[in-house]
Amino acid sequence: MPIKKRITIKQVASEASVSTQTVSRVINNRPDVAPETRQRVEEVVERLGYHPSALARSLIQQHSYTLGVVTAGLKYIGPSRTLNGIAQQTEAMGYSLLLKELPRFDANDFEPLLQSLLARQVDGVIWAVPQIGANRYWLKEHVPHLPIPIMFLTMEPQPGISIVSIDNYQGGRLATKHLLEQGYRRIGHISGPLDWWEARERKRAWENTLLEAGLPVEECQSVEGNWSSSSSDRAFRQLLDQFPGLDAVFVGNDQMALSVYAIASARGIRIPQDLGVVGFDGIPESAYYWPALTTIDQNQHELGCNAISELVYMIETSEHGKKEVEPRVIILQPELIIRESSPRRPI
């Protein structure tokens, strides 16, 4: 039961007529306490509503059981789903979470952020900000000097860095191959913003898959969006104008696919009869687009979970074994979900 004033270990000790050390042993479940002493102490702890200060404990043990997470764009569903996994797994592993959100995706003043986490003695850090532009420039120089493990999400593998990522290239490949297999031939692409690594990977996969199938890929065949529905509103109209004969489009995410649907409806282009569509992300809503959207499901929740498991593993082995843990790279595979927006094309 929460109480108005904070009780200290001293008060418990004096109330139970033992030393603080004994109280400490009881609350930490150490063996060397006489059963009746233990019981007496426990009774006092209960009665006073005593709860040990994690702060004091962290200070002396040099171990806070707290993880720092740096994120960006929580107002979007992707980062939130990842954070959801992170929070859940952190809790499950008995740690707490200190949250920092970057004001912008491409903010790159990593230093004060990292310091504020280090000042609070976090045991490890998850850098859950996607790789954009040059926002990873500091890795090479600074990561090796950090006193604690740091785990990066969603970025290009790099020697010496621990990373958990989703295979965006493979996702783009699955999407494009699916469209090819269904008989589409003039396949356009609405990409995410190309300063994002993920957007580039998806586009690169689309391009290579077409080329490997012996199809030409022209400049006018793809347009850049910025992940938002409103951006693809413009992008899709441009694509229609500049690439005649379009029979399918691979859209960089499900939000952008939504306005592809809207523009198509407004222009009398029927999906899927006149135009096949494949999205990316697998947001729950995409199953209720009409027609239901074929998409690439990326499990961002699991991404977060994996990152934490791995990070905690790094923390705990580097403590025990005293030797540094080898940086590890984990790549999760996305999945193709076939729905109604990409049926086999009649010959």
d(CA 46, CA 56): 20
Query: Of 19, 39, 47, 54, which lies in the binding site for a second copy, with binding defined by CB under 8 A?
Result: 54
Tell me: cis bond preceding 346? Omega within 30 of 0 counts.
Answer: no
Select from DNA, a second copy, none the partner in contact with residue 9, using the beta carbon and a kind-dependent cut-off of 5 to 8 Å. Answer: DNA
CB of 145 to DNA, least distance (A): 18
Confirm or reject binding of residue 273 to a second copy (CB under 8 A). no
Least distance in angstroms from the C-beta of 173 to a second copy: 27
Q: Which does 313 bind (CB under 5 to 8 A by kind): DNA, a second copy, none?
A: none
Name the one range near a second copy by CB under 8 A: 21-29, 107-115, 242-250, 314-322: 107-115
- Choose among DNA, a second copy, none what residue 32 binds, the Cβ cut-off being 5 to 8 Å by kind: DNA
**C-alpha dist (Å) from residue 320 to 233, 258, 314, 317:** 54, 51, 10, 5
Task: Identify the bridge partners of residue 248 per DSSP, sorted by sequence position.
Answer: 187, 276
CA distance 198 to 186: 23
Using the rule CB under 8 A, give the single segment among 180-188, 191-199, 283-291, 314-322 that binds a second copy.
Answer: 283-291
Query: Which segment (13-21, 72-80, 239-247, 311-319) binds a second copy by CB under 8 A?
Result: 72-80
* Binding partner selected for residue 25 from DNA, a second copy, none, CB under the kind-specific 5 to 8 Å limit: DNA
14 part of the interface to a second copy, by CB under 8 A: no
Residue 57, CB-side half-sphere exposure with 13 Å CA sphere = 12
- Member of 261, 299, 303, 308 binding a second copy (CB under 8 A): 261
> In Å, how far from its chain's centre is CA 276?
29
Smallest separation, CB 29 to a second copy (Å):
16
Given a contact cutoff of 8 angstroms between Cβ atoms, the answer to whether 70 and 113 are in contact is yes
Quote the CA–CA distance of 171 and 281 in Å, as a whole number: 9
Instruction: Name the helix (H) or strand (E) containing 56.
Output: helix 54-61
Which residue type occupies 254? D
Q: Does 59 bind a second copy (CB under 8 A)?
A: yes
Least distance in angstroms from the C-beta of 30 to DNA: 8
Residue ranges in 123-182 that form contacts with a second copy under rule CB under 8 A: 142, 145-147
Q: Whole-number minimum distance, CB 331 to a second copy, in Å?
A: 22
Q: What is the C-alpha separation between 162 and 160, in angstroms, rounded?
A: 7
For residues 172 and 200, give the distance between their C-alpha atoms in angstroms, rounded to a whole number: 10
| 338 binds a second copy, rule: CB under 8 A | no
Give yes or no for a contact between 72 and 129, defined as CB atoms under 8 angstroms apart.
yes
Reported residue count of the chain is: 347
Whole-number Cα distances in Å, 155 to 42, 54, 136, 158, 200: 49, 34, 9, 8, 11
State the residues that interact with a second copy by CB under 8 A: 1-6, 51-56, 58-59, 64, 66, 69, 74-77, 79-81, 83-84, 87-88, 91, 96-101, 103, 111, 114-116, 118-121, 142, 145-147, 228-230, 233, 255, 258-259, 261-262, 265-266, 284-285, 287-290, 292, 301
